[in-house]
Amino acid sequence: MNASPRFGLFLAASVWLGGCAATSRTAPPTPPETAPSPTPAAPAALPAAMTVPAVPLRRPAPLETVVLSNPQSPIVSFRLVFHTGSVDDPPGREGLTALTANLLSQGGTRELTSSQLLEVLFPMAAELEAFTDKEFTTFSGRVHKDFLPRFLKVFTDVLIEPRYEPSEFERLRTDALNTLRNTLRNEDDEELGKVGLDALLFRGHPYAHFVGGTAQGLQAITLDELKVHARRVFTQDRLVIGLAGPVDAALQQSLTSRLSALPATGAPRVALPPVTARPGAALVLQKSTLSTAISLGFATPMRRGDPDFFPVALALSYLGEHRQTHGLLFQELREKRGLNYGDYAYAEHFIQQSGTTFARPNLARTQQDISLWLRPVVPATAVFATHGVLYYLGQLVQHGIPRDAFEQTRGFLLSYTRLWEQTDPRRLGYALDSLFYGTPDFLGSYRKALEQMTPESVHEAVRRRLRPEALSFVFVTQDAPALVTGLTAQAPTPLTYASAKPPAVLEADQAILQQPLPLRPDAIEVLPASTFMEQ
């Protein structure tokens, strides 16, 4: 049993926001057959503050059930997706929803202590976990059909008959504080950069704070408050049910009947406000670290179901699909220049599912962000790498994707998207997400759209949706003053190589050196990582 909440954080310091704005739909020129000559993107004026609206996600019926029958499989998969997440944390109690989900899934039931719960699950080789994000919390389980009756009772008892043992509450709260203070602040620079980007892009918004909580918020939570919160947000009207595998009508009826013991209704759902996005901000988190982690992005109203989503997703896959080596940024920054480990781009908020390179399902968000990650970079080359990612992003917006690269990317995605749905739990996750986004057969629709795309149609969507001048930046580094000096300089320090490089690389380096950064010097904030997420 493993509960692994996804985290965000609240930024209390005064920082600017990164944002996006729509562009006109003027038809762009046809992209060239070969890569354009290396010229930097023309500097664009930073847009004024923009508003990213909050169009509510769809609301399924209470206890609406999705069944993906697979009689050949011996494994039954469960997904209970509640429309509640860190946006439901009360002010001053940041982390309450994630802590509640963890205590429910790990803390035992009326009949079983926490240790007895593990002892029951282990011989069945069963899985039971909870995962919390900004707007959704998922309780998932898997078990062999031979153990189904026993597992079904345990799986539902954690929700309808939780134990609420005080010692377990204190243990899990201490674990959450250790995750925040030790793991995130001190050990995981990549995750810290991503969390910082959430805080920067969504400052003043319910998305801004860390899903796992703030130090003061976690310390303030009481067990009685947690019990009340569970009955406010883990309710029938917020729940959709997913079942996959050898599922029959009797199992559906039994599961629905047991879950009808949950409160029918609870707290009103949070009405998310628009995001006020101001571009050109940078947050520099200073800590003792040998490398520099770089995250950049902007908030966007584009999400699944938008006509531009699929072509923009292809374009960003061309820049860098998660943990794949063929992306343009990976090839240019890592392979040709040896700057770092990996460089990736994302059309929607990305959280990796453990043990895979794929996105975790059931993380639907009303408002999304487009982001790029550079992991990790030697501090001396961090500024050059930042100019580099802006240069190649600008080339994409200016010139589109060369036709041969477009065909390669399309062919890759036609196959790769099939891996995203290779298991019953993942297929079930996508089916449940479609209820909220209104995108039935999402991956089938993606493949159909890929077949119909052209380099020209993708370039049109890119020009509408990708705005380099709208970016904001987060850096996790040791020498913050030196980094800020480099970021605000007229040009980065040129790279020096230990061995000869091809003329094309050196020519592109000169263009990268001339690439302006969309940064406002007065909107660069430096904070010690040790105080970040404290309140």
Query: Shortest CA distance to 207 belongs to which of 5, 8, 471, 437?
Result: 8
- CA–CA separation, 146 and 59 (whole Å): 35
- The answer to whether the 64-259 and 273-531 domains have the same CATH topology is yes
- CA–CA separation, 326 and 39 (whole Å): 22
Q: What's the mean pLDDT in 368-393?
A: 96
pLDDT of residue 102: 98
pLDDT of residue 51: 87
Domain spanning 273-531: which CATH class is it, in words?
A: alpha beta
For 355, how many CA atoms within 13 A lie in the half-sphere containing its CB?
2
pLDDT of residue 35: 47
3 pLDDT band (50/70/90 cuts)? very low
The 10s digit of each residue's pLDDT in 131-188 is: 999 999 999 999 999 999 999 999 999 999 999 999 999 999 999 999 999 999 999 9
Residues in the chain: 535
The 10s digit of each residue's pLDDT in 250-264 is: 999 999 999 999 999
pLDDT of residue 38: 75
Query: Shortest CA distance to 76 belongs to which of 19, 140, 123?
Result: 140
Q: What's the mean pLDDT in 386-394?
A: 97
pLDDT of residue 20: 32
The 10s digit of each residue's pLDDT in 189-234 is: 999 999 999 999 999 999 999 999 999 999 999 999 999 999 999 9
pLDDT of residue 50: 78
pLDDT at residue 19 above 60?
A: no
pLDDT of residue 34: 40
Q: What's the mean pLDDT in 8-29?
A: 31
Q: What's the mean pLDDT in 344-361?
A: 96
Structural domain boundaries in the chain? 64-259, 273-531
The 10s digit of each residue's pLDDT in 289-299 is: 999 999 999 99
| Average pLDDT of the chain to the nearest whole number | 92
pLDDT of residue 21: 31
Q: What's the mean pLDDT in 360-371?
A: 97
279 pLDDT band (50/70/90 cuts)? very high
pLDDT of residue 37: 58
Q: Which residue has the tokens 């036609």?
A: 414
Phi, psi angle pair for 268, to nearest 5°: -60, 150
- CA–CA separation, 436 and 124 (whole Å): 33
Q: Which CATH number fits domain 64-259: 3.30.830.10, 3.50.70.10, 3.90.1150.10, 3.40.50.300?
A: 3.30.830.10
* Secondary structure letter of residue 248 according to DSSP: -
Strands 239-245 and 127-132, bridge-based pairing: unpaired
46 pLDDT band (50/70/90 cuts)? low
The 10s digit of each residue's pLDDT in 493-502 is: 999 999 999 9
pLDDT of residue 15: 30
The verdict on pTM exceeding 0.75 is yes
pLDDT at residue 40 above 60?
A: yes
Q: Which helix (H) or strand (E) holds 59?
A: none
43 pLDDT band (50/70/90 cuts)? low
Contacts of 254 (CB under 8 A, 6+ apart): 152
What percent of the chain is modeled with pLDDT above 90? 89
pLDDT at residue 461 above 70?
A: yes
pLDDT at residue 14 above 80?
A: no
Dihedral sign for Cα atoms in the order 266, 267, 271, 276: negative
- CA–CA separation, 150 and 140 (whole Å): 16
Q: Pick the residue with more confidence: 40 or 265? A: 265
pLDDT at residue 77 above 70?
A: yes
384 pLDDT band (50/70/90 cuts)? very high
Dihedral sign for Cα atoms in the order 246, 248, 254, 260: positive
What string of DSSP letters covers 484-512?
Answer: HHHHHSSSPPPP--SS---HHHHHHHHHH
Structural tokens at position 294: 């770089």
12 pLDDT band (50/70/90 cuts)? very low
- Edge-to-edge strands, sheet with 340-346: 340-346, 368-377, 292-300, 472-477, 282-286, 524-528
